[in-house]
Amino acid sequence: MVAVALRPAAAAPVDVCFVVLPESLLLDLAGPAEAFRLANQALARQGRAPLWRLRHVGPQAQVRSSVGVQLAGIEPLPASLERPTWVVLLGRPGEAEAVVRAQAPWLAARDWLSRVLGPALADPSSPHRLLTVCSGALLAADAGLLSGRCTTTHHELLDDLARLAPGARVLADRVFVDDGNLLCSAGVTAGIDLALHCIAQHAGEALAAEVAQVLVVFHRRGAGDPERSPLLAGRSHLHPALHRVQNAVGERPAEDWTLERLAEVAHVTPRHLGRLFAEHVGCTPRDYVERVRSAFMREALAAGWPMARALALAGFSSDRQWRRARARGSAADAA
């Protein structure tokens, strides 16, 4: 599925700055970076401009990663944040004593964070964000950026994080924690969940669902496992015909999706499509279309769209039709 833009596109894409230090965990970098790249790729297929610009910054132009691969072409830490920037702090292998080392690269990154990013994060309306993956939260703590905030990290480092940031509220058993412009994730692959969460916040659940599908991480995890969006429900299968249908409905919810039209997209007969939906999604094709339209309706209204425009986006002919669809959805959830 590809997200429908629910808000005006930014004048320029967000800078996603991965702070790369010696021995940075490669998966902490590659997982979230690939999620943002795939999101831009999906937008390009719709003729839309990219929403994220990936940058790799750090005190050194070349470092050795956690798995021995040399990472080169690293930009210097920027003197200022000229446009909306999401700074991503990556984990490093080992226990806290091995991660938090008073060596030149760590000290340079710590100074830069407290001097350049810290003041920006103090303003809740700032367009800048700090994202941490795994033990990257320890660097944020060492820079004094977690006081009074909710945070988390890898479960083996929770006590160390609490010690480094005594003024923070350290939460256990969380995939990630969203505290406004500070977002912290737990160990390693949780960075992908955090990236998908940020994609959904910035560009809609449908785009995040498409990226999750490509990454084969259909069971997206959230902060405290909140209720899943209907745009993500029924996506844990690997059936290509159903994914074609679900992508098409997500991209164009307002289209006249008759059973015959859906079957054409899937390249199967209408009867067989009904069987596939019952087996893999747990509902009829008609019900699925209605759920997606209702989800887009809620997103559009939450984004401040006028009722008439939201109805047109979602594919409802009237407010009355939407209320009926919403009532049917509530009844199905209660069943």
What are 254's two structure tokens?
Answer: 């307002």
Residues 247 and 203 both lie in one domain: no
* Within a domain: 232: no
Q: What is the CA radius of gyration of the chain?
A: 22
Look at the alpha carbons of 239, 264, 48, 290 in this order and tell me if their dihedral is positive or negative. negative
pLDDT at 331: 60
Percentage above 70 pLDDT, the chain:
88
Domain C-terminal end among 215, 232, 266: 215
pLDDT at 334: 52
Residues 244 and 182 both lie in one domain: no
3-class SS of residue 268: coil
* Within a domain: 233: no
Q: Is the pLDDT at 8 greater than 50, yes or no?
A: no
Q: Is the pLDDT at 335 greater than 60, yes or no?
A: no
Stretch 292-314: mean pLDDT, rounded?
A: 83
Q: Is the pLDDT at 4 greater than 50, yes or no?
A: no
Residues 279 and 198 both lie in one domain: no
CATH number at residue 155: 3.40.50.880
pLDDT at 303: 67
Residue-wise pLDDT tens digits, 17-37? 999 999 999 999 999 999 999
pLDDT at 189: 86
Range in 33-42, 49-58, 127-136, 307-316 with the lowest mean pLDDT? 307-316
Range in 31-40, 189-198, 240-249, 285-294 with the lowest mean pLDDT? 240-249
Q: Is the pLDDT at 251 greater than 70, yes or no?
A: yes
Residues 171 and 306 both lie in one domain: no
Residues 62 and 108 both lie in one domain: yes
Residues 36 and 112 both lie in one domain: yes
- Tally of domains within the chain: 2
Stretch 95-110: mean pLDDT, rounded?
A: 88
Q: Is the pLDDT at 93 greater than 70, yes or no?
A: yes
Q: Is the pLDDT at 10 greater than 50, yes or no?
A: no
CATH number at residue 264: 1.10.10.60
Residues 301 and 268 both lie in one domain: yes
Stretch 28-56: mean pLDDT, rounded?
A: 95
* Within a domain: 9: no
* Within a domain: 225: no
Q: State the chain's mean pLDDT as an integer.
A: 87
* Within a domain: 7: no
CA 69 from chain center: how many Å? 26
Stretch 297-326: mean pLDDT, rounded?
A: 85
* Within a domain: 295: yes
pLDDT at 297: 86
pLDDT at 227: 36
Domain C-terminal end among 151, 180, 215: 215
Cα 152 from Cα 66, distance rounded (Å) = 22
Residues 193 and 47 both lie in one domain: yes
225 pLDDT band, cuts 50/70/90, is very low
- CB-CB contact of 173 with 231 (8 Å): no
What is the span of the domain harbouring residue 94?
14-215
Q: Is the pLDDT at 70 greater than 70, yes or no?
A: yes
Single pTM value for the model: 0.69
Q: 155: which DSSP letter? A: G
* Within a domain: 223: no
* Within a domain: 33: yes
Residues 265 and 317 both lie in one domain: yes
